[in-house]
Amino acid sequence: MKHYGKFYIDGEWVDSTGTRQFEVVNPANETPFATISLGTEKDVDRAVAAARRAFPAFSATTKAERIALLERIIAEYTKRQPDLAAIVTEEMGSPKSVTTQITGPADQFKQAIATLKTYEFEKRIDGNLVRREPIGVCGLISPWNWPVQTPCTKLAAALAAGCTVILKPSEYSSVAMVTLAEILHAAGVPKGVFNLVFGDGPVVGNAISKHPDIDFVSFTGSTRAGILVAEAAAPTVKRVAQELGGKSANIVLPDADLAAAARWNIGRAFFNAGQSCHAPSRMLVHETQTEQVLNYLVEEAKKVRVGDPSDAATTMGPLVNKNQFERVQKYIQIGIDEGARVAIGGTGRPEGFNRGYYIRPTVFADVTPNMRIAQEEIFGPVLSVIPYRDESEAVAIANATPYGLGGYLFTSSPEKARKVGTQMRAGRVFLNGANSNTAAPMGGYKQSGNGREMGVFGLEEYLEVKAMIGFEDAA
């Protein structure tokens, strides 16, 4: 079993100052395959000092220099995609057939280049010179469900802005970040610009959040953890951007293509084994059409191929770990106890599995808006179908959770689409299964977070605004 005991700090691999280790388990067979060192506050201090030293020079680089660096990263990343794919399959159970986990990160770097090429860091406003400048040293805290894409989304924007960073990945998906660090090193990222420290939230995550020499923290994870990050960051008054939990609704209006809506909802809700904060885990269907839609949903759910993620035929692998498995099992039982009807799926592993953190893809019918399965984020392949009487009630149900990350809408009417879509309190609203793209800002309303990632809005999270008054004649 391999041990990853070094962190990447100031352009070198260095030993951790701590002694704690974490065992990384393959969720498909529940077998440990690696250990990592868990960092300490001293490790964070070393990484922050390196990033602080590197900031003056890197923040002064030109757009052309940063674009060239991002292009080199893409070239090196492309070479290592097969390595990353194998690691992500082993450490978090992402099926080999699902390529988005690995192709998506390159798209983030490409988008950063496209954004940077046209972005103006200075403008004149009523005779004032207004500049946007790199915010400084940034702490990036990323989750396990998108172990490569989320770090790369943050990193691409930070580098494009001219910031230096300390990355803390989830302890459940740190192995892939070793390869990412190797990619960045090979691409010639200057010493101290990128630093990697493994660790858990209570120690390393907290140290990053409260560190006085970190200017900005970008966090993706649960709402509960996001609150702790914000609390730790508050005494130093640093800016914090967060993408947190979600309970996204898919409103299917009566004039929609019901079969297409059901097919898309199963595919999107069960993608990544439902471990996605944007998953449409609530499907809102007109009360006269629920049984028809349920029939479509059941037929689509039957097509989901649960199995070994290393098998190319598998479309849904296991959940990431035992805790997540037990959490989802608990919620399925809660749904049953609350009186919801299991249309397909239910508790226990799928037939033929006695090991691995596999979940039966589950669709609940007869769900009411106040049930826990309709209000709380489950983070697994569990879909709640909720009937509504009219459009206004559908919007009210969609908005009646603490979350506001994603919203989805199916209708054949452009007028209804605009009317309903503008009423949905969510950071992103998709019409008729439209594909996501990296130029559109991503982030949430309410307890789904604050700040945005991707495109221009993602870049600006890493920039401060400076007004220079009386400089209208300065060169």
pLDDT greater than 70 at residue 274: yes
CATH number assigned to the domain with residue range 249-446, chosen from the 4 options 3.40.109.10, 3.40.309.10, 3.30.420.60, 3.20.20.70: 3.40.309.10
- Look up 277 and say whether it is catalytic: yes
Place of tokens 């471990």: 275
> pLDDT at position 144, please?
96
> pLDDT at position 392, please?
98
Rounded Cα–Cα distance for residues 8 and 3 (Å) = 15
Number of Cβ within a 10 Å radius of residue 156: 29
Task: Look up residue 336 and give its two tokens.
Answer: 């049953």
**Sign of the torsion formed by the C-alpha atoms of 165, 166, 169 and 175:** positive
Q: On the CB side of 206, how many CA atoms lie within 13 Å of its CA?
A: 8
pLDDT greater than 80 at residue 473: no
What pTM value is reported for the model? 0.97
The domain at 2-244+449-468 falls in which architecture?
3-Layer(aba) Sandwich (3.40)
> pLDDT at position 325, please?
98
pLDDT tens digit sequence for 206-239: 999 999 999 999 999 999 999 999 999 999 999 9
- Look up 338 and say whether it is catalytic: no
pLDDT greater than 80 at residue 264: yes
Task: Look up residue 412 and give its two tokens.
Answer: 């054949």
Percent of the chain with pLDDT over 90: 98
- For residue 65, the surrounding DSSP H or E stretch is helix 63-92
pLDDT tens digit sequence for 56-89: 999 999 999 999 999 999 999 999 999 999 999 9
Contacts 24+ apart (CB under 8 A), 395-399: 395/251, 395/420, 395/423, 395/424, 397/249, 397/282, 397/284, 397/369, 398/249, 398/251, 398/282, 398/284, 398/424, 399/423, 399/424, 399/425
Percent of the chain with pLDDT over 70: 99
Rounded Cα–Cα distance for residues 71 and 460 (Å) = 20
Domains 2-244+449-468 and 249-446 share a fold: no
Do residues 48 and 166 make contact, with C-beta atoms less than 8 angstroms apart? yes
Q: Spot the catalytic one: 138, 152, 163, 277.
A: 277
pLDDT greater than 90 at residue 42: yes
Q: Spot the catalytic one: 76, 90, 243, 300.
A: 243
pLDDT tens digit sequence for 364-416: 999 999 999 999 999 999 999 999 999 999 999 999 999 999 999 999 999 99
Least confident residue range of 96-105, 184-193, 233-242, 372-381: 96-105
> pLDDT at position 98, please?
87
Average pLDDT value over all residues in the chain: 97
Domain boundaries, the chain: 2-244+449-468, 249-446
> pLDDT at position 194, please?
99
> pLDDT at position 475, please?
59
